[in-house]
Amino acid sequence: MNIPQLRIGNLIATTPIVQGGMGVRISLASLAAAVAQEGGIGTISSIGLGDFDASHGDYERVSREALRQEIRKARAMTSGVLAVNFMGVLRNVEELIQTAVSEGIQMIVFGAGLPMRLPKIVEDASVNLVPIVSSARGAELILRGWEKRFDRTASAIILEGPLAGGHLGFTPEQLEHLPDFSLESLIPEAVEAVKPFEDRFSHAIPVLAAGGIFNGRDIARMLSLGASGVQMATRFVCTQECDAAQAFKQTYLDAKEEDIVIVKSPVGLPGRAIRNRFLKDLEKVDRLSIHCLYHCLTVCKVAEAKFCIAQALLNACQGDIDHGLIFCGQNAHRIHEIVTVKELMSELRDELQAALNESV
Ligand SMILES: Cc1cc2nc3c(=O)[nH]c(=O)nc-3n(C[C@H](O)[C@H](O)[C@H](O)COP(=O)(O)O)c2cc1C
Residue 359 C-alpha to ligand 1 middle, in angstroms?
A: 29
* Whole-number pLDDT of residue 351: 98
pLDDT digits (tens, 9 = 90+) for 155-192: 999 999 999 999 999 999 999 998 889 999 999 999 99
Going from the C-alpha of 359 to that of each of 192, 221, 224, 347, 355, the distances in angstroms are: 23, 10, 9, 18, 6
Stretch 277-296: mean pLDDT: 83
CA pair distance 312, 1, nearest whole angstrom: 45
* Whole-number pLDDT of residue 298: 78
Residue 245 C-alpha to ligand 1 middle, in angstroms?
A: 17
* Whole-number pLDDT of residue 241: 98
- C-alpha of 267 from chain center: 15
Residue 292 C-alpha to ligand 1 middle, in angstroms?
A: 24
Please state the atom number of ligand 1 nearest to the C-alpha of residue 244.
1
* Whole-number pLDDT of residue 304: 75
Residue 340 banded pLDDT, cuts 50, 70, 90: very high
CA pair distance 301, 298, nearest whole angstrom: 9
Nearest CA to ligand 1 atom 8: 23
Nearest CA to ligand 1 atom 3: 22
What sign does the CA torsion over 102, 71, 14, 88 have? negative
Please state the atom number of ligand 1 nearest to the C-alpha of residue 210.
22
Q: Where are the domains of the chain?
A: 6-244+337-358, 247-323
Residue 202 C-alpha to ligand 1 middle, in angstroms?
A: 31
Nearest residue to 32 (alpha-carbon basis) of 76, 90, 65, 93 = 76
User: Between residues 291 and 185, which one has the greater pLDDT?
Assistant: 185
Residue 40 banded pLDDT, cuts 50, 70, 90: very high
* Whole-number pLDDT of residue 273: 97
In this predicted structure, the answer to whether residue 228 has a pLDDT above a threshold of 90 is yes
In this predicted structure, the answer to whether residue 229 has a pLDDT above a threshold of 90 is yes
* Whole-number pLDDT of residue 343: 98
CB 345 within 8 A of CB 39: yes
Residue 307 C-alpha to ligand 1 middle, in angstroms?
A: 20
Which among 214, 234, 242, 318 is the best mutation to test ligand 1's pocket, defined by most ligand atoms within 8 Å of the CB?
A: 234
CA pair distance 239, 217, nearest whole angstrom: 20
- pTM, whole model, 2 decimals? 0.96
Residue 87 C-alpha to ligand 1 middle, in angstroms?
A: 11
Residues constituting the chain: 360
* Whole-number pLDDT of residue 121: 97
Stretch 40-63: mean pLDDT: 87
User: Between residues 287 and 17, which one has the greater pLDDT?
Assistant: 17
% residues pLDDT > 90 (the chain): 82
Average pLDDT value for the chain: 94
Going from the C-alpha of 201 to that of each of 11, 133, 146, 147, 194, the distances in angstroms are: 18, 20, 12, 9, 11
* Whole-number pLDDT of residue 291: 77
* Whole-number pLDDT of residue 113: 84
Q: Which helix (H) or strand (E) holds 283?
A: helix 277-285
Secondary structure of residue 19 in the 3-state scheme: strand
* Whole-number pLDDT of residue 219: 98
Please state the atom number of ligand 1 nearest to the C-alpha of residue 45.
8
Residue 88 banded pLDDT, cuts 50, 70, 90: confident
In this predicted structure, the answer to whether residue 60 has a pLDDT above a threshold of 90 is no
Residue 206 C-alpha to ligand 1 middle, in angstroms?
A: 19
For the ranges 92-96, 110-114, 229-233, which has the lowest average pLDDT?
A: 110-114
Please state the atom number of ligand 1 nearest to the C-alpha of residue 327.
1
Ligand 1 site, CB within 6 A? 20-23, 26, 45, 47, 85, 87, 111-112, 132, 160, 163-166, 210-213, 231-234, 327-329, 331
Superfamily per CATH, domain 6-244+337-358: Aldolase class I (3.20.20.70)
Stretch 50-60: mean pLDDT: 78
In this predicted structure, the answer to whether residue 302 has a pLDDT above a threshold of 80 is no
CB 223 within 8 A of CB 16: yes
Please state the atom number of ligand 1 nearest to the C-alpha of residue 110.
11
Residue 166 C-alpha to ligand 1 middle, in angstroms?
A: 5
